[in-house]
Chain A
Amino acid sequence: MSTGFTLFPAAKKEEYGYGVYDRVITNADLEHWFNTGDDARIPAEPKAVGFVHCVGSRDLKAGNSQCSKVCCITAIKQAMEMKEKFPDAEVYCFYMDLRLFGKKYEDFYINAQRDYGVHFIRGRVSEVSENIAGGVQVKAEDTLSGRPVRVQLDLLVLMAGIVNNPDNESIAGQVRLETDSDGFLKSRDNILSITESPRKGVFLAGACTGPKTVPETVAEARSAALAIHSYLSGLE
């Protein structure tokens, strides 16, 4: 089984104003714009762009306690891309923690700081309001300096997190599998046999068991394929 994930519906975090303010978009919207150049919400010459990490992930209020794993590195990647497109724009990343665990991820982070001059602010954005100029004003606390920060932005990107596929419950029910407390499918063991379900002959791969990066997904897919092969050959 590889039922994948869904993106957190960013409008659920009402205080960020997705769907209310024109200048608030999600990571998926921005990626779409990178690929097609088609999004009226993105201004021609933005002077300041903000990224909000952990939107709908690590957030009990949004019903998701898990870390989405990919948003930190995606935000840094997208921040650098924005900086490439708009070299004069200031780019801010509002984060709670930066979790850059993958291979070369930390190098990316250094790159973003050193070569692109992306500003990293440790503080979760709590309120977004619209200003007269049509942009948005973001309120957060710079927890490192211990002072509230306020910044006017032309574009705010919400890093919507990975949440479980809402169909998981019904799909799992059909093959008598269980979902975990986070809504993802339950593996036999989260450390040693993540690709195996508690039921014999049912295998799991990718983001159906939790947020995954691409390398992890690929590795799990291979592992699952191998496990299936062993199972069918009766080697187990």
Chain B
Amino acid sequence: MDFGFGFSPSSAADLDKIDLSLYHRMEKVAPDIRTCMGCGSCSATCTGAPFSGMSLRKVILAIQRGKEREAREMLSGCMLCGKCTMVCPRGINTRNLIISLCRYWDSDKREYDFSREVEVKI
């Protein structure tokens, strides 16, 4: 039953207990995720940020701290424009990281829909 309020869980990130399976999965598909130094360039330049509060720096940090829900929300505002890739001082392939996150969020299985019919014009 949901009363609309409740005891708020501790906001402390207990590094002993948090589930880092997503982070470890990402380390495999996009090893770049390890090299972020949190400078904030990506967030400052982000085209989507003014609308959705997207911040790749925060997403990476949230995943490392087990706060996956926050990260998920931010990711859905990414426009893939590539500005973050351009400014990252560590040369992280941020678009690949974002796409991999969106794709392998739930599992590392690759899923396809081959029946999709859509006019491919690029």
Task: Indicate whether A and B are direct neighbours in the complex (CB within 8 Å).
Answer: yes
Selecting from A1-9, A35-43, A98-106, A123-131, the interface stretch reads A123-131
Please report which residues of chain B, range 19-50, place their CB below 8 angstroms from some CB of chain A when the two chains form the complex: 37-45, 49-50
List A contacts of B38 (CB < 8 A): 143
Asked if residues A61 and B89 are in contact (CB atoms below 8 Å), the reply is yes
Report A111-127 CB contacts with B as 1/0, cut-off 8 Å: 00000000000111111
> How far, in Å, is A26 (CB) from chain B's closest CB?
18
> How far, in Å, is A125 (CB) from chain B's closest CB?
7
Does A234 belong to the interface (CB within 8 Å)? no
Asked if residues A146 and B58 are in contact (CB atoms below 8 Å), the reply is yes
**B90 closest partner in A (C-beta):** A60
> How far, in Å, is B58 (CB) from chain A's closest CB?
6
Asked if residues A126 and B41 are in contact (CB atoms below 8 Å), the reply is yes
Contact among B44, B58, B91 with A125 in the assembled complex (CB-CB below 8 Å): B44
| Residue from A15, A59, A126 whose CB has the most chain B CB atoms within 10 Å | A126
Bound complex: CA A15 to CA B37 (Å):
20
Number of interface residues of A (CB under 8 A): 23
List A contacts of B40 (CB < 8 A): 122-124, 126, 140-143
Does B67 belong to the interface (CB within 8 Å)? no
List A contacts of B94 (CB < 8 A): none
Asked if residues A126 and B91 are in contact (CB atoms below 8 Å), the reply is no
Query: Contacts A61-B88, A146-B55 hold; do A141 and B44 have CB atoms under 8 A apart?
Result: yes
Asked if residues B37 and A126 are in contact (CB atoms below 8 Å), the reply is no
Does B80 belong to the interface (CB within 8 Å)? no
Give the secondary structure class of B's interface: helix
List B contacts of A96 (CB < 8 A): 37, 39, 89
Does A77 belong to the interface (CB within 8 Å)? no
Does B57 belong to the interface (CB within 8 Å)? yes
Does A205 belong to the interface (CB within 8 Å)? no
> How far, in Å, is A129 (CB) from chain B's closest CB?
11
Asked if residues A124 and B91 are in contact (CB atoms below 8 Å), the reply is no
> How far, in Å, is B95 (CB) from chain A's closest CB?
15
Please report which residues of chain A, range 134-155, place their CB below 8 angstroms from some CB of chain B when the two chains form the complex: 139-143, 146, 148-149
> How far, in Å, is B54 (CB) from chain A's closest CB?
11
Does B98 belong to the interface (CB within 8 Å)? no
Bound complex: CA A60 to CA B57 (Å):
18
> How far, in Å, is B42 (CB) from chain A's closest CB?
8
Bound complex: CA A58 to CA B35 (Å):
13
> How far, in Å, is B77 (CB) from chain A's closest CB?
13
List B contacts of A158 (CB < 8 A): none
List B contacts of A143 (CB < 8 A): 38-40, 43, 57
List A contacts of B88 (CB < 8 A): 61
Asked if residues A148 and B57 are in contact (CB atoms below 8 Å), the reply is no
Bound complex: CA A123 to CA B42 (Å):
10
Bound complex: CA A217 to CA B55 (Å):
41
- List A residues at the B interface (Cβ < 8 Å): 15, 54, 58-62, 96-97, 122-127, 139-143, 146, 148-149
Which 4 pairs show the lowest CB-CB distances between chains A and B? A141-B40, A126-B45, A124-B39, A60-B91
